[in-house]
Amino acid sequence: MVDQRHSIGSDMVARYQRATVIGLGMSGYSAVRYLRACGLAVSVLDSRDAPPLAARLAEAFPEVDVRFGAFVDDCLDASTLIVASPGVSLQEPMLQSVRRQGAQIVGDVELFLQANTKPVIAITGSNGKSTVTTLVGEMVAAGGLRPLVAGNIGVPVLDSITDALEFDVAVLELSSFQLETTYHVGAAAAAILNVSEDHMDRYASMGDYVLAKSRILKGAQRAVLPRHDEQLSQITQVAKLLSFELDEPANEDEFGLKRQHDGRWLMQGKKRLMKLGDIALTGLHNVKNVLSAFALTDFLALSLDARVGAVKAFVGLPHRMQTVAVHNRVTWVNDSKATNVGATSTALLSLEQPVIWIAGGQGKGADFSTLADAITDNIQLLVLIGVDGPKIEAALQGRVRMQRAADMSEAVALAAAAAEPGQVVLLSPACASFDMYRGFEHRGAVFAECVQDYIGRGAA
């Protein structure tokens, strides 16, 4: 293969002859494509015996060495560039060992950032980052620029370099896992939308989780942060700080709400942005998401009309407070993307109607007792599913009426039996889904199918 490393790669990549990619998911496969295009010899490790992309890799890159199965300590060479996929913890003994030998361990996002020459808008947070990333992309496009929406959403970031995609602004959703192997984001604008307990099966403490999220601010020209978040209030060493919240902003660097004679308005300082009632999304948490999107795009020369138009047209993403049916005046809402306690608490508090709540799954070490703060008199019944349903039940004993279900079909049946006109049945699990489903999308789709089956049977 022709050595193209100086045409598409970074100076760091040019220092290596070989690379090892750990994890053969979408980002890992994308990294193989990129590294081979840069002229490096590539090896792949995956702890699974048969990774889902193994056949595609063998067909497209038969020259790539592969090693599938349990990791062993001596399978890495410190002289090679090591590219770890987000799902691979840096606490893996083999990575700890090779790091002590001086190995360079990066992720696909770091490789992208080193090769990219366009402005970056970077977004992280425990909840809402996919919604904000997508909305920012819509704002950028509405303003006449070409966005790349990538990272933890959209196309794998390195595909944009390998395939020479044309874009003006990179809008990146970044998870804490991706940020662990990203060392200098250098974003034009970077946001931490919120931080709540999540992935406690991977992090030793909440502090470690917050530190991982905070890596997104390294080198940022502008930081966008929630105004009253105590966990993020210590972040002051940024070039320019923009904040958002639902209260009234005090200056042009603050985004918020203000009640005026003609209703409530989203504001930037004293400047009116748009009417609250013109937002298509449901819930006050989504008002915060919109405010953060305005803050993130403030540095771009986009017309206000274009950005407001994008907000008005944006109806949200599947599995995020998505209404899947209304039957006999009962509204069925799919919030399967709520895979942690913080997301579910936000969902419960954003609804004013009485709620029949379905929750449970893989808890990832979460403290479910914190859900108690979101349980108001509106919560009529909690239907529990999944392997950690009993943990939620124990944590919330005496706070809400509860029933257990063996699967989603039974959960929908129990919810339907309890729901009355004017109420909402909300799937907001506060848990990951892999004990029962392929992912949160699969779980949400099964929920929607069960609801439609229930309606189709003509149930009362």
Q: Within 10 A of 90 (CB to CB), how many other CB atoms are there?
A: 14
Q: How many Å apart are CA 115 and CA 257, to the nearest integer?
A: 39
Q: Which of 428, 438, 323, 338 is nearest to 384 (CA)?
A: 428
**Bridge partner list, 192:** 124
Contacts of 349 (CB under 8 A, 6+ apart): 374, 376
Do 242 and 298 touch, CB atoms closer than 8 A? Answer: yes
Do 198 and 204 touch, CB atoms closer than 8 A? Answer: no
6 catalytic residue (yes or no)? no
Q: How many Å apart are CA 402 and CA 212, to the nearest integer?
A: 36
Out of 116, 127, 129, 285, pick the active-site residue.
129
Out of 127, 152, 194, 289, pick the active-site residue.
152
Where does residue 164 rank: exposed (0-12), middle (13-18), buried (19+ CB within 10 A)? exposed
Out of 116, 199, 213, 319, pick the active-site residue.
199
Per DSSP, 443 falls in state: H
Q: How many Å apart are CA 97 and CA 377, to the nearest integer?
A: 53
Do 395 and 197 touch, CB atoms closer than 8 A? Answer: no
Q: Within 10 A of 453 (CB to CB), how many other CB atoms are there?
A: 13
328 catalytic residue (yes or no)? no
Q: How many Å apart are CA 277 and CA 115, to the nearest integer?
A: 42
Amino acid (one-letter) located at 134 = T
Q: Which of 279, 271, 231, 278 is nearest to 254 (CA)?
A: 271
For the chain, the C-alpha Rg in angstroms (whole number) is 23
Do 451 and 324 touch, CB atoms closer than 8 A? Answer: yes
251 catalytic residue (yes or no)? no
Q: How many Å apart are CA 8 and CA 244, to the nearest integer?
A: 38
Question: What is the secondary structure of 183-234 as a DSSP string?
Answer: -----SEEEE----S--TTT-SSHHHHHHHHHGGGTT-S-EEEETT-TTTTT
The residues annotated as belonging to the active site are: 129, 152, 199
